[in-house]
């Protein structure tokens, strides 16, 4: 079943109105007709099933038939502190982090970051990539994409593990006990040129535990995806979830 994103503010009673972008996709790309059954997600965990009521190039309305609350992820909230990568590499990180269940992506500017550009355009593109990834992987709760910030000024949760995947650490692997403290899990990864040693030392001073991803030299985007997948596995974030039962329509 086709899935689309709906702004919660446009859901009124048994009707929902899609954005102009989603309306374009429905009417001109997929050429769906009134009566077609679709799914809607509101980015906050609600999943609706409905049928198209009116279809226009810029406006589509949906008659809602049922709704269900998506179960929360089995794992713990995962915050990815990712130094800017060049171009499409950062786009890949946004897409795959969404698919892997990252709660919040915090892009960072570091000494060796090379992906700096128009911040407004970057933010808009990352948001679009995140939304499309949510639709593709059937994720009902959006991943937060925070504004770009310098590493030194990044806010951190008061509690929870802090892990630095750093090429300068050559002996210490990630052990399950490093993830045992309660609270959100923060992962910090550098750009293509790595973190400067001073940045790594500052991170350690803020409670980050440096660990290695092994002896092989990984591309920056590969290291990020490997780190997220490993941590999600160890914290239960890759466990299957019981399907929620649909509720009557609103």
Do 34 and 213 contact (CB within 8 A), yes or no? no
Pick the CATH number of 3-70 from 2.20.25.10, 2.40.240.20, 3.40.50.720, 3.30.565.10: 2.40.240.20
Picking from 194, 140, 167, 205, the residue whose alpha carbon sits closest to that of residue 8 is 140
Q: Per DSSP, what are the bridge partners of residue 161?
A: none
pLDDT in tens, 23-79: 999 999 999 999 999 999 998 889 999 999 999 999 999 999 999 988 777 779 999
Q: Which distant-in-sequence residues (6+ apart) come within 8 Å of 94 by Cβ? A: 105, 126, 129, 130, 133, 145
Query: Average pLDDT in the 216-240 region?
Result: 94
Picking from 189, 181, 102, the residue whose alpha carbon sits closest to that of residue 154 is 189
pTM: 0.86
* Residue 220 reports pLDDT greater than 90: yes
Each domain of the chain, given as residue ranges in start order, spans 3-70, 78-235
Query: Average pLDDT in the 15-29 region?
Result: 93
Q: For position 118, what pLDDT does the model report?
A: 82
Q: Which distant-in-sequence residues (6+ apart) come within 8 Å of 186 by Cβ? A: 79, 81, 156, 157, 160, 161, 162, 163, 208
78-235: CATH topology? Alpha/beta knot (3.40.1280)
Tell me the HSE value of 207 on the side-chain side, using a 13 A CA sphere.
14
Q: For position 244, what pLDDT does the model report?
A: 45
pLDDT-derived band at 1 (thresholds 50, 70, 90) equals: confident
The CA distance from 160 to 178, in Å, is 10
The percentage of residues in the chain with a pLDDT greater than 70, rounded to a whole number, is 96
Do 78-235 and 3-70 have the same topology in CATH?
A: no
Q: Which distant-in-sequence residues (6+ apart) come within 8 Å of 145 by Cβ? A: 94, 104, 105, 107, 123, 126, 127, 130
pLDDT in tens, 140-162: 899 999 999 999 899 999 999 99
């Amino acid at each position: 079943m086709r899935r689309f994103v709906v702004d919660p503010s446009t859901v009124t009673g048994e009707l929902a109105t899609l954005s102009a972008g989603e309306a374009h996709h429905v009417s001109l790309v997929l050429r769906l007709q009134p009566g077609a059954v679709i799914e809607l997600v509101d980015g906050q965990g609600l999943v609706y099933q409905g049928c198209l009521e009116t279809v226009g190039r810029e406006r589509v309305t949906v008659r809602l038939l049922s709704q269900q609350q998506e179960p929360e992820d089995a794992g713990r909230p995962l915050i990815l502190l990712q130094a800017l990568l060049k171009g499409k590499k950062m786009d890949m990180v946004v897409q795959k982090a969404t698919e892997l269940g990252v709660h919040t992506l915090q892009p960072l500017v570091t000494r060796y970051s090379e992906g700096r550009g128009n911040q407004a355009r970057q933010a808009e593109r990352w948001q679009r990539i995140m939304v499309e990834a949510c639709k593709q992987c059937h994720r009902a709760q959006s991943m937060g994409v925070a504004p770009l910030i310098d590493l030194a000024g990044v806010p951190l949760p008061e509690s929870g593990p802090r892990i630095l995947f750093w090429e300068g650490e050559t002996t210490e692997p990630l052990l399950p006990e490093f993830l045992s403290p309660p609270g959100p899990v923060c992962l910090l990864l550098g750009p293509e040129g790595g973190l400067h040693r001073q940045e790594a030392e500052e991170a350690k001073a803020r409670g980050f535990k440096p660990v290695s991803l092994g002896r092989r030299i990984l591309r920056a985007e590969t290291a990020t995806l490997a780190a997220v997948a490993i941590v999600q596995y160890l914290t239960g974030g890759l466990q299957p979830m019981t399907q929620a039962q649909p509720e009557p329509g609103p």
